[in-house]
Amino acid sequence: MSEQETTVPPEQPVAQVFSPAAAGAEGGLQTPAPGKDRRALRAVLRWTAAVAVFAVAGAGTAYGITRMDRTDVPGLATASDGRWEYPELTRPPLPSGSPGPFADGNPAGAHYADLRALLLPAPGGAREDKALRGSDGWLATEDYLAEYAVEEERDELRQKLVDNGLRHIAARGWTTPDGTRTRVYLLQFGTANVVDNQFASDNVAYGTPAYQVRGSGAAVYDEGFPERAAVSGVERTAYVESKPYGAEQVRQAYVAAGDVFAVILQSRRGTAPAVPFQQTVVLQSQLLG
């Protein structure tokens, strides 16, 4: 899963598409009429092709990631679909001569940019969780393990982190005005092979997560996450807490991108809406891709 590197001028914006409309996601999204499906699909493919050309890394170059207006996304016709207002996103510059994570000359899938700069920022109006910043922006392993409910599982996961050569954890969290709480953890290992063939396989299963997240009951594979929202080179598995759940609902996603394994958790009292969760997962995946 490698991409050919293309050098673009500094500050070149990269169009990003987030369109769960045709997947029946929550949040007021409408499915296009049958007669328009083919035209909408062609339009999405054109946008995807544009993203593929411009969304590759170049040495020492920063790239902007812009949010499209709702009216620009094919098949999205609602006045409000529940998406959050994220600031304009920019990938940090790579050290001179360093390839992107999916470049042909980077078989380890290494992210040479500062992992802390690859964290998705909080959306507008959100209150950031300062406790997740950690010391110098690095989070202690024990603080990450605190997300998991069962002590025996935490012990097992702690040992796997050691065995697989965990290098760093960068984290960010926030709470939006509607009470939705988001936590994003980026775990960096030595190579993509470690992430893909060892750590990710120990954490992700098709039917349910390998470890129980604190506050979550039974979680099942999220069939409603739109496949068209996939990011090239990035593997994603998402789960949603199934009914009946307790005071809050928890959504969780696990993303493998080169030498980085990302864990994205989102919870809210009552129900956790699908659209901002999908948006958050896709944008974080794009920053890592």
pLDDT tens column, 55-69: 333 333 343 444 444
Kindly report the average pLDDT of the chain as a whole number.
79
Q: Is a pLDDT exceeding 80 seen at residue 42? A: no
Mean pLDDT of 121-140: 93
pLDDT tens digits for range 67-77: 444 333 333 33
> Residue 214: what pLDDT?
94
Cα 100–Cα 105–Cα 109 angle in degrees, nearest 5: 55
Backbone angles phi, psi at 53, to 5 degrees: -70, -40
> Which of the residue ranges 73-82, 233-242, 258-267 would you say has the lowest mean pLDDT?
73-82
Q: Are 13 and 44 in contact (CB under 8 A)?
A: no
Instruction: Give the percent of the chain with pLDDT over 90.
Output: 64
> Which of the residue ranges 70-79, 237-246, 252-261 would you say has the lowest mean pLDDT?
70-79
Q: Could you tell me the pTM of the whole model?
A: 0.76
> Residue 203: what pLDDT?
83
pLDDT tens digits for range 85-117: 999 999 999 999 999 999 999 999 999 999 999
Mean pLDDT of 30-51: 35
> Residue 183: what pLDDT?
98
